[in-house]
Amino acid sequence: MKREEFLNEKIPMVEIFNSISGEGITSGFLTTFVRVYGCNLRCSYCDTKYSYDGEYSLMAPIEILGEVNRLNCKRVIVTGGEPLEEEKIKRYIPLYLAQNGYEVRIETNGSVRLYDEDEIYQFTSKKERKNLFYTLDIKCPSSNMDKFNIFEENFKRLILGDEIKFVVGNVDDLDYSIDVVKRYKEYFKGVTLNFSPVFSKIEPSQIVDYLKIINKFFAENNLDVRLNLQLHKIIWDKDKRGV
Ligand code: SF4
């Protein structure tokens, strides 16, 4: 899509607010969250159902930018729902905000295509993505959505500063995650691998114990692996919105 076409559209939006990044390598940084409406998956543990079956308002891109400007953070996380759903106008919000000087991270569920060079070029007139990073989920079996994972086609688009998130609910999920890491490890240099517990399904210490057993493999392959706890669920009530 061309930028000019995008600017004439209205986009279903759930909320835009400031908080701290609760996860991954940006954890703790003050951040503006831009939550789009709609998701193509239905994960068993979804904690943001309101992002696809709740209320939304239609906003023009210039209104979204205006609200992000007003909130005054240099970092933006575009989340959902699913921001990169294909054939949807919302897919271009991250490119638009990055073009306007924000450091943008896209939280994407791993079942939709990341931008390719042509798509970036069409929108920005530049071949490379700038100010734009991915936090790419790999859905594990306990989500019931693992059959929708896109692997190689997305992994080959990852660069330094991107991250992958495995949300794990049990040992089978850990086994599945490590199998994916072993199969595609050549794509994960410079990409942080996060292991995140499904709240109240698995103890974080169990994940650490599991990862410690295969630490040699991570070290030999120069892979950066971390336990990822959701800070906002520690600081605030686990169901509290807009924090
Ligand atoms: S991808 Fe995210 S928003 Fe969509 S159903 Fe799964 S957890 Fe919920």
CATH number at residue 112: 3.20.20.70
Residue 55, pLDDT above cutoff 90: yes
The rounded Å distance from CA 179 to ligand 1 centre is 22
> Is pLDDT at 238 greater than 80 in this prediction?
no
> Domain for residue 242, yes or no?
no
Residues annotated as binding site for Mg(2+)? Answer: 48
Show binding-site residues for [4Fe-4S] cluster: 39, 43, 46
CA distances, 95 to each of 18, 32, 162, 217 (Å) = 20, 15, 15, 36
Question: Which strands form 224-227's sheet, in the order they lie side by side?
Answer: 57-59, 11-20, 30-36, 75-79, 103-108, 132-138, 163-168, 192-197, 224-227
Asked if residues 172 and 141 have their Cβ atoms less than 8 Å apart, the reply is: yes
pLDDT at 232: 85
- The residue whose C-alpha atom lies closest to atom 6 belonging to ligand 1 is 43
Residue with CA at minimum distance from ligand 1 atom 2: 81
Stretch 74-86: mean pLDDT: 97
Which pLDDT band holds residue 237 (cuts at 50, 70, 90)? Answer: confident
Q: Is residue 241 part of a domain?
A: no
Expressed in percent and rounded to 5, the helix, strand and coil fractions of the chain are 35, 20, 40
At 124 the pLDDT is: 95
Token pair, residue 36, equals 């789009």
Q: In this model, does residue 239 exceed pLDDT 90?
A: no
The rounded distance, in Å, linking the Cα atoms of 10 and 18 is 22
82 lines ligand 1 (CB under 6 A): yes
User: Residue 240 above 80 pLDDT?
Assistant: no
d(CA 24, CA 195): 9
Give per-residue pLDDT as tens, 206-215: 999 999 999 9
Tell me, what's the pLDDT at 63?
98
The mean per-residue pLDDT over the stretch 108-135 comes to: 96
* Stretch 182-198: mean pLDDT: 97
Ligand 1, atom 8, residue with closest C-alpha = 46
Annotated binding residues for substrate, written as ranges, equal 20-22, 35, 79
In a domain, 240, yes or no: no
Looking at every residue in the chain, the average pLDDT score rounds to 96
pLDDT at 165: 98
Portion of the chain with pLDDT greater than 90, in percent? 93
Strand blocks (E) in 1-86 = 11-20, 30-36, 57-59, 75-79
Which of 78, 85, 109, when mutated, tests ligand 1's pocket best, judged by the most ligand atoms within 8 Å of its CB? 109
Beta-strand (E) ranges in the chain? Answer: 11-20, 30-36, 57-59, 75-79, 103-108, 132-138, 163-168, 192-197, 224-227
Domain count, the chain: 1
Strand 103-108 with 224-227, pairing: unpaired
The response to whether residue 80 sits with its C-beta less than 6 Å from ligand 1 reads: yes
Q: Find out whether the beta carbon of 39 lies less than 6 Å from any atom of ligand 1.
A: yes
Residue nearest to atom 5 of ligand 1 (CA): 42
Predicted local confidence at residue 242, as pLDDT: 74
Q: What range does the domain containing 191 cover?
A: 3-235
Per-residue pLDDT band for 141 (boundaries 50, 70, 90) equals very high
Instruction: Look at residue 11 and tell me if it is in a domain.
Output: yes
Structure tokens at 73: 């953070």
Let me know if residue 160 belongs to a domain: yes
Q: Which helix (H) or strand (E) holds 178?
A: helix 171-184
